[in-house]
Structure 1
Amino acid sequence: MTEADRRWLDAGWRFVSAALPPAPARVIEIGCGPAGGFVPFLDSAGYDAVGVDPEGPAGERFRRLRFEHYAPPEPVDALVTCTALHHVDDLDLMVDRMAAALRPGGVLVMVEWARERFDERTATWCFDRLPTGEEDGWLHHHTQRWHQSGLPWPAYFDGWAEAERLHRADAIVAALGRRFQTRSLAAAPYFFADLAIDESAERAAGVALTGVRYVGAVG
């Protein structure tokens, strides 16, 4: 796990933990990643937590498969998903499976990325603040590829996002709205962990807030 990952998870946990029902609620994290995502935090806080990801760690707390192919033994109290939904193949299918996995009144806590708000001003602000001495991350990758392409930022970035088949955040929120009752929805800082700055510094910069923090519930 990189230092950027640690900063991201520490900050995200503050939002996630505040939105969850009390422990020992049953929680599934969708797309926990190879480092386990929030599952160690959930476990330490007393939750009955499982992480589902084809690239998740080994261990009894994890299931190495896609969430679309996972059948929980019984409905759970909460789902957590962090920057996983913009990658899925069939968004509506995923949302249906998520709603089916929750008990009535169960909570969905989502952290996502609004790639449609990542404009040139915000990208340039990020690239100018990339820390040195850390492992190259996705922002390093994009600043190099963009300059090599010779394209205007919208042409470069939109072309990359469409080639990767990344869902827009507004499409994700709309899909959730068909199955969940929205409790809260807010734009939030997204790049602070990679830039080794505080969330407050990103908020104060006046750039686009491309993070999305959502809490919803099933009826």
Structure 2
Amino acid sequence: MTDEATRRWLRATWPFVRDALPAAPARVIEIGCGPAGGFLPHLEAAGYDAVGVDPEAPVGARFHRMEFERYVPAAPVDAVVACTSLHHVDDLDHVVDRIAAAVRPGGTLVVVEWARERFDERTARWCFDRLPATDGEGWLHRHARNWRESGAGWAAYFEGWAEAERLHRSDDIVAALNRRFRTRSSTAAPYFFADLGITEDDERSAGVALTGLRYVGVA
């Protein structure tokens, strides 16, 4: 995502995260907060005792610049938030085990993820036709260009890329979560709206595949 798309994404997704969390001042770990700090500013403004963990996290007392696999909280926390980070990890089961160990019994896990296996050609073309020219080049711009230059069909191009990147499918992510957490909710959601400069409702009404995943579990 471009910086502006990231800001749009965080603003739009925060209400889902906020509504799933226990009441402030609960203790929260955000996994994969990224260089922009993720939801930490929103969490702190809402009164949460929150930290962010990411190798590229900003410098600051509330951030830990490391992989979550290496982070050891001082005590189990009330909630963990993982936003578009689980599909990237090397060992999914190990990371989910670490999350389960970090959350107190009865605590909450909030996950926002990408169901990359639902990103079909119709949805890809719809996205590429709507890419804004003003935010700079983002990941969808690169896919549009690389697919065109590959000369391959969308399914072959995209699956080859996903396998090379070793990206996990959403059904594998949910299966791993369900082995450690009790599911409170798991729903499909819009995913590309922030990159396209449109709203979640715009994406829903387009009739394209909803490739976002929003999951809430209880330890």
Structure 1 runs of 4+ with >6 Å offset: none
Residue 87 of structure 1 and its aligned partner are, at CA, apart by 0.3
- 1-structure distance, mates of 2:11, 2:134: 21
Q: How does 1:80-95 map to 2 (within 5 A)?
A: 80-95=81-96
Q: How does 1:1-219 map to 2 (within 5 A)?
A: 2-218=3-219
- 1-structure distance, mates of 2:183, 2:82: 15
AA partner of residue 194 (structure 1): D
- 1-structure distance, mates of 2:212, 2:7: 17
- 2-structure distance, mates of 1:138, 1:14: 25
Contact 1:127/1:143, CA 8 A, preserved across alignment: yes
Corresponding pairs, count? 218
AA partner of residue 207 (structure 1): V
Residue 2 of structure 1 and its aligned partner are, at CA, apart by 1.6
Contact 1:29/1:52, CA 8 A, preserved across alignment: yes
- Matched residue SS, 2:130: coil
- Of 2-11 and 138-147, deviating more is 2-11
Residue 3 of structure 1 and its aligned partner are, at CA, apart by 1.4
Deviations along 1:116-143, one digit per CA (max 9) or x if unpaired, are 0000000000000001121110000000
TM-score (norm 1): 0.99
Contact 1:2/1:135, CA 8 A, preserved across alignment: no
Residue 51 of structure 1 and its aligned partner are, at CA, apart by 0.1
AA partner of residue 152 (structure 2): L
Gaps of 5+ in 2: none
- Matched residue SS, 1:163: helix
- 1-structure distance, mates of 2:158, 2:63: 34
- 2-structure distance, mates of 1:2, 1:91: 27
- Matched residue SS, 1:156: helix
- 1-structure distance, mates of 2:118, 2:33: 24
Deviations along 1:138-186, one digit per CA (max 9) or x if unpaired, are 0000000000000000000000000000000010000000000000000
- 2-structure distance, mates of 1:207, 1:193: 15
Contact 1:29/1:39, CA 8 A, preserved across alignment: yes
- 1-structure distance, mates of 2:63, 2:218: 24
Gaps of 5+ in 1: none
- 2-structure distance, mates of 1:147, 1:68: 37
- 2-structure distance, mates of 1:210, 1:187: 7
AA partner of residue 201 (structure 1): D
- 2-structure distance, mates of 1:165, 1:119: 18
- Matched residue SS, 1:8: helix
Percent identical pairs in the alignment equals 72
- 1-structure distance, mates of 2:155, 2:186: 26
- 1-structure distance, mates of 2:81, 2:162: 24
